[in-house]
Amino acid sequence: MPSRRDNPLARWRLNAELPHHVIMWWGDYNSSQQDRDYRLRGEIISSALAYDHASKSYSASVEWDQYLVFCFVSREAAEQFRKRWNGQFIETDEVSRNGVWTPREGDVCNLYQMMSNQEAIRANTRAMIDSTGNMEPLQEIWPDRMAPIVRNTPAGRELAHVRWGLPSSSKALFDAATKRADGLRKKGKPVDFDELLKMEPDGGTTNVRNVSSKHWKRWHGIENRCVVPFTRFAEPDPANKPDGGRTPNAWFGLPDESLMFFAGLWVPQWTSVRKIKEGLITADLFGFLTTEPNAVVAPIHQKAMPVVLANPEEVETWLSAPWEEASKLQRPLADHMLALLPPVQPLTPVDTQPILI
């Protein structure tokens, strides 16, 4: 990737007076592809200043993807700007001083519940194939476990158990392997970097926010779409953490906890090392999209919430429509459709490592 000078405007990420950041994909350094006419750049920057005269902007990058980042004093101004230009909220500490954006893709909704039944799932998704057998309700679904999804396959729409956690980006794995190699070299040990990279553990990416990233674009097609059934999902609730205790979860869903679906992606037969003790394996993988939180989730978790499909029509759109139409569903669920639910007693100790089922 071409080197870029440190961007002095990146210092604004550290300014507490500009806490609301909106990021926009601008193009690809490698292919020279651009999402918008370059002449629009001035208009976009001017509109940011019109919404908030104190706003600042700078460039950022992820691998070959280039972005513009806008920083606002006012959340309202940031929201108006985001809606006008189809931007995305990010956390301030996701952007480094040299303008490199490192999105945190897997740190929201890493626990959910699915207490409905396969008949209801099939009826709501028009799944014609069911390979789950006798599917039991699942009170706790953790990352890297098997969970039910409805996916598009060449044979038809299928209800199946698939492992939660999509492949991480090649850059993330390369960086991790490089760090591991450097550590081995410091100890005077020989390094076969190609083998080290091949065997670098990838626990998977559970949530996908930046769908415009080159890493995720390859799986935009209908053949890689899925929906993930759930009855409630959890977000960490640090505000209610007791002194000396663990951070509790806040739970969200329909008031009657009836069946709903996340908008997801799935990848067939991906070969990687999920856990060192497993070694190299090949497995089907899935994850689901996230977006900015609605007014129900935001007081608990300000960063994001899962993309929830509101009705069977949206389920059908996600599973069958072209990406240009389906991607519009990556937005917060209407406030009136979601409720803060009573807590549940955890079955699994918080510090227990998830296991495969």
pLDDT at position 4 over 80 = no
| CATH code of residue 241 | 3.90.1680.20
Taking the C-alpha atoms of residue 116 and residue 132, their distance in angstroms, rounded to an integer, is 14
Same domain, 89 and 118: no
Q: Rounded mean pLDDT of 202-209?
A: 87
Same domain, 82 and 223: no
Same domain, 162 and 301: yes
Q: Rounded mean pLDDT of 97-104?
A: 48
Same domain, 127 and 253: yes
Single out the residue of 26, 79, 57, 71 nearest to residue 213, CA to CA: 26
Alpha helices in the chain (DSSP H): 40-51, 75-85, 118-125, 170-186, 193-198, 214-217, 312-320, 323-326
Lowest mean pLDDT among 31-45, 56-70, 115-129, 326-340: 31-45
Q: Rounded mean pLDDT of 308-327?
A: 96
Same domain, 155 and 253: yes
* pLDDT for residue 332: 95
Sequence-distant (≥ 6) Cβ neighbours of residue 238 within 8 angstroms: 247
* pLDDT for residue 304: 86
* pLDDT for residue 65: 60
pTM assigned to the model: 0.69
* pLDDT for residue 221: 97
Same domain, 62 and 118: no
Selection from 26-40, 185-199, 295-309 with the highest mean pLDDT: 295-309
* pLDDT for residue 9: 42
* pLDDT for residue 92: 53
The number of CA neighbours under 13 Å toward the Cβ of 210 is 27
DSSP string covering 46-62: HHHHHH-TT-EEEEEEE
Lowest mean pLDDT among 92-96, 166-170, 292-296: 92-96
Output the six-digit token pair for 98.
Answer: 């040299």
pLDDT at position 15 over 80 = no
pLDDT at position 201 over 90 = no
Q: How many domains, the chain?
A: 2
Taking the C-alpha atoms of residue 309 and residue 321, their distance in angstroms, rounded to an integer, is 14
* pLDDT for residue 238: 77
Query: Which amino acid is located at 293 in the chain?
Result: P
Output the six-digit token pair for 110.
Answer: 């890493």
Which residue segment(s) compose the domain that 208 sits in?
112-167+202-341
Q: Rounded mean pLDDT of 291-313?
A: 91
Same domain, 35 and 146: no
Domain membership flag for residue 355 = no
pLDDT in tens, 330-346: 999 999 999 999 988 76
Helix (H, G, I), strand (E, B) or coil at 216: helix
Taking the C-alpha atoms of residue 260 and residue 104, their distance in angstroms, rounded to an integer, is 25
* pLDDT for residue 71: 87
Q: Rounded mean pLDDT of 226-233?
A: 97
Selection from 3-7, 80-84, 132-136 with the highest mean pLDDT: 132-136
Domain membership flag for residue 52 = yes
| CATH code of residue 62 | 3.30.70
Of the chain, the percentage scoring pLDDT greater than 70 comes to 80
Q: How many CB atoms lie under 10 A from the CB of residue 122?
A: 18
* pLDDT for residue 51: 93
